[in-house]
Chains A and B, each alone.
Chain A
């Protein structure tokens, strides 16, 4: 399968009469863009606000991030099959165009939920989220989803789906343009590779997607399908990069993988980089993180079986989330090691505010090679920002993981002067286990 991804590097985003991309400037016709947002009648209020790196802006509560994309020379126009539009088709082949260096963020105008996060565009807070370095087109909106207005767990359907549509809408402005750069992701079928490649150590990349909710509407999706209702499955890495996977709305946000993270998965790119040189990259096993022990065991069995059947010598396992999913993570690594597959794990830790708690709920000496990307419970204390996009009170008020209303020692998460104290848990997609993290956890 061969995917060509055309890059258009966005240096500035502004509003104007026509939505277009020219000389590095993305101009957005706000009314037209908001009309796309309002295609869902559940959207009651909506606005677009631009946040650029270095600006004194704090964005909260952030629910989703999407890279603007479109398909080129395709008979299909919906970029996220099974999620946007009505056509269901296989992605990862042919050509897509992407507006690089920017993302569409779904931001609650008022209401936050457990899996929502915060992004600072400058200052110390900017080092903790990947999204601080992107130009963010913030869709700040409210909805009439009254059934979950005051729920801690929200599906955030209207807002998240509006972000997907908006990213498609923006992406389409470069459909017919010539990209500045084209990245090619070409990975032939497993049995159709050159002898020299076949002789290299083979690797599968196992992603444990978030699927802990039994009810639909919260979990990660593959082509629109709730991965809670699946067993681990084999995917071509290009499918992951090209809009087949959608981030969920449940996981404490520093552990979460947004749709943008799947679209840009750095570990897939790093494995591509080594393919044919030092390794034979076999593909992706998409697993899940269901809560019952038997489901965890079943998924670990399937991952190990698939790795063996594919003839994998080694694997990288990435865990989304922490706590209960640690059991899946460790079980999966143990199952792979027991099958003779040399495995490296990628995860974050929960060592507590004092750093003294056990890192993972479940640990095994067989997981002897782990890349650690962060500590969810690290305390982060940040000064006020000039502008808040969304509503700062959500961090304290709405049960966002990592925020709190009051604490005997630390006080409330949101202070009167606009400064905040929170756990890393609330930093939007902060731990970057998909592979960006220039962070780790060390013993002191």
Chain B
């Protein structure tokens, strides 16, 4: 009998809802709360422990939460790790992804989850783990848990498994060659696809072309010397205490910081929290990422009218397009209210 450990949040452990979301990590023996649904569908695998953690605790103190849970798992024998199902619960989905990423890296076991396609955890973690497509709410618990448990049981038993589409999980972007003696030859598949395309009937391409979201380039600013310019960076420049707790990777949060009266950003007052490069240069001189010094010079020389008093910041590494688009849409209103004419978007 192989062994599994399941991660669930405070709600599915029956501890409480939003008021208990700060619940600190704990581990209990057996399949507790929502973990029982996974246990029910496992074959040849026993859930020995359930890890419970409040969604806010994982969201706000991620590193601490992961360290505490890792210590709890230390020395425990387990072959597979489950997190969720998380349905459409955003914080729970992200928490499932975060703990799964940490557990598979530290303990080398396969990790599985289940989320609804609107859960932000899907886009953030689908590339690195198997996340089954789940329902919107806990009403789908039994079915969602069964799908992921049944699949994981086959993986652990070394039995054959199908592709993402065949099994029902979100594709991880790994495309592999498949031989199937029952498959129609490529010539017949091509002619069938052609006949469907000619007739305007649905067909399924075997090589989906990834959608590219082209953003049209804006019209030039007529008179830059009268324009108000704002600056946004995805290089993670923040006040040293990172007041908005922007994540170092896979960011979902952003902040804006007042630079009124500053000629340049000083090391020691600002730093980068971006985890995707060596921070030494940027910590010593944050202007290498967010060029306040150069922009003030341009302001003095009259090349630009003036600089908008706030700079906006988030982290680009690992951040999904979907989250980036959401954050941008949140940054736009205050920038528009300040009558900004142009935005300089700087990276790392």
Contact = CB atoms under 8 A, between A and B. Distances in A.
The answer to whether A and B assemble together is: yes
Interface of A: 127-128, 201, 203, 266-267, 269-271, 273-274, 278-279, 313-314, 316, 342-344, 346-347, 349, 351, 354-356, 359-360, 363-365, 367-375, 378, 424, 432-444
Interface in B151-180: 163-166, 171-180
B183 to A, nearest CB: 4
Given A365-B209, A368-B209, A372-B206, A354 B174 contact: yes
Which 7 A/B pairs are nearest by Cβ-Cβ distance? A435-B187, A442-B163, A355-B174, A443-B171, A266-B187, A437-B186, A370-B207
A363 B176 contact: no
Given A343-B197, A351-B175, 18 more contacts: A278-B195, A344-B197, A360-B207, A363-B209, A365-B209, A370-B205, A371-B189, A371-B190, A374-B177, A436-B185, A439-B178, A439-B180, A439-B183, A440-B178, A441-B177, A442-B164, A442-B175, A444-B163
A351 B176 contact: yes
Contacts of B207: 347, 349, 359-360, 370, 372, 441
A6 to B, nearest CB: 22
Contact of B175 (A266, A269, A313, A355): A355
Contacts of B189: 371
A274 B205 CA distance: 21
Given A375-B175, A432-B186, A438-B185, A203 B194 contact: yes
B280 interface: no
B277 interface: no
A279 B173 CA distance: 36
B221 interface: no
Interface residues of B, number: 38
Given A267-B187, A363-B210, A371-B189, A424 B177 contact: yes
A441 B186 CA distance: 12
Contact of B211 (A355, A365, A369, A440): A365
Given A359-B207, A365-B209, A371 B175 contact: no
Interface of B: 163-166, 171-191, 193-195, 197-198, 203, 205-207, 209-212
Contacts of B197: 314, 342-344, 369
Contacts of A356: 173-175
A316 B194 contact: yes
B194 A443 contact: no
Nearest to A434: B187
Given A363-B209, A438-B185, A270 B190 contact: yes
Contact of B176 (A269, A274, A371, A378): A378
Contact of A375 (B164, B173, B177, B193): B177
B302 to A, nearest CB: 44
Nearest to A200: B198
21 contacts: A266-B186, A344-B193, A346-B186, A346-B190, A349-B175, A351-B176, A360-B207, A363-B210, A375-B176, A375-B177, A378-B176, A433-B186, A436-B185, A438-B181, A438-B183, A438-B185, A439-B180, A441-B177, A443-B175, A444-B163, A444-B174
A359 B190 contact: no
Nearest to A270: B187
Contacts of B190: 267, 270, 316, 344, 346, 371, 435
Nearest to A355: B174
B208 to A, nearest CB: 8
Contact of B191 (A271, A441, A442): A271
A436 B203 CA distance: 20
Contacts of B194: 203, 279, 314, 316, 342, 344, 369
Contacts of A266: 185-187
Contacts of A314: 194, 197-198
B177 A313 contact: no
Given A270-B188, A369-B193, A371-B189, A443 B177 contact: no
A346 B165 CA distance: 21
A128 to B, nearest CB: 7
Contacts of A269: 187
Contacts of B188: 270, 435
Contact of B186 (A203, A342, A435): A435
Contacts of A370: 205-207
Contacts of B175: 349, 351, 355-356, 359, 375, 441-444
A369 B126 CA distance: 25
B202 to A, nearest CB: 11
Contacts of B211: 365
Contact of B178 (A279, A344, A347, A441): A441
A107 to B, nearest CB: 24
Contacts of B174: 351, 354-356, 443-444
A348 to B, nearest CB: 9
A196 B185 CA distance: 29
Contacts of A436: 185-187
Given A438-B183, A444-B175, A371 B193 contact: yes
Given A363-B210, A441-B177, A444-B176, A373 B187 contact: no
B154 to A, nearest CB: 14
A271 B174 CA distance: 33
A371 B206 contact: yes
B125 to A, nearest CB: 15
Given A279-B195, A344-B194, A355 B186 contact: no
B81 to A, nearest CB: 19
A438 B179 contact: yes
A365 B180 CA distance: 28
Contacts of A347: 207
Given A435-B190, A436-B186, A443 B198 contact: no
B168 to A, nearest CB: 12
Nearest to A358: B210
Contacts of B166: 442
Nearest to A368: B205
A442 B176 contact: yes
A378 B177 contact: yes
